[in-house]
Amino acid sequence: MKYKSVFDIIGPIMIGPSSSHTAGAARIGRVARSLFGRKPKFATISFYGSFAKTYRGHGTDVAIVGGILDYDTFDTRIVDALTIAKQEGIDVKMTAEDAITDHPNTARVIIGDETDRIEVVGISIGGGKIEITELNGFELRLSGNHPALLIVHNDKYGAIAGVANILAKHEINIGHMEVSRKEKGKEALMVIEIDQNADEIIINELNSLPIVQQVVKIHD
């Protein structure tokens, strides 16, 4: 495995004990919170593989809930996240699953309220780094390390060009982009990691495209 810097090896500043089981879990929870866009009323979390075996002893449970509370990896409140979530009226349920997944440190997070919900699958790949591999049934690859746009759109020709033209007009550079769909000609998901945060003017322009159903942005 190649590392870009020494920080990829030693991991992030964090509440311990493990960068994979705590910092990574916190980031999975925080990306889910960012995608949902507000404090949820409930959280259902399923752990797989190594997470399932050690999530209580290694602090994965408090870390992922801390992320859902929008705490960063170094926030000392993480150790009390379960208590704080209960105080804030968030109903948290956790289960350890036996199913075999592609990665040993995998978590499925469902958060929502009375009006909406999202389902996120994330993996902790080491050193506090993560990948979001699934969102509401769409397969994707999202690191959470960069600003990003998630665009739900109709699976029609011209979708990518329309979005790219708006970003180019505003001099927004694309670092990574991929598109997934459940079925040809139906709903699709565009995931775009960008070099700087997109402001509301850009989001409004993207939402104005006839093929676009929803735009969600993730800040760095």
Using the predicted structure, report yes or no on whether residue 13 has a pLDDT greater than 80.
no
Sheet holding 105-112, edge to edge: 91-96, 42-49, 105-112, 117-126, 129-135, 138-142
The separation between CA 128 and the C-alpha centre of its own chain, rounded to angstroms, equals 13
pLDDT in tens, 71-98: 988 899 999 999 999 999 999 999 998 8
Q: Is there a contact between 41 and 113 (Cβ–Cβ < 8 Å)?
A: yes
Span 148-218 CATH architecture:
2-Layer Sandwich (3.30)
Q: What is the pLDDT of residue 11?
A: 45
pLDDT-derived band at 1, boundaries 50, 70, 90: very low
Query: CA–CA distance from 124 to each of 140, 183, 187 (Å)?
Result: 15, 28, 28
Using the predicted structure, report yes or no on whether residue 193 has a pLDDT greater than 60.
yes
Span 12-135 CATH architecture:
2-Layer Sandwich (3.30)
Within 8 A by CB and 6+ apart from 47, the residues are 55, 60, 94, 95, 96, 97, 106, 107
Domain ranges of the chain: 12-135, 148-218
What SS3 class is residue 92?
strand
Dihedral angle sign, alpha carbons of residues 150, 154, 156, 159: negative
Q: Please report the DSSP string for 166-184 in residue order.
A: HHHHTTPPEEEEEEEESST
Q: Report how many helices (DSSP H) and strands (DSSP E) the chain contains, helices first.
A: 7, 10
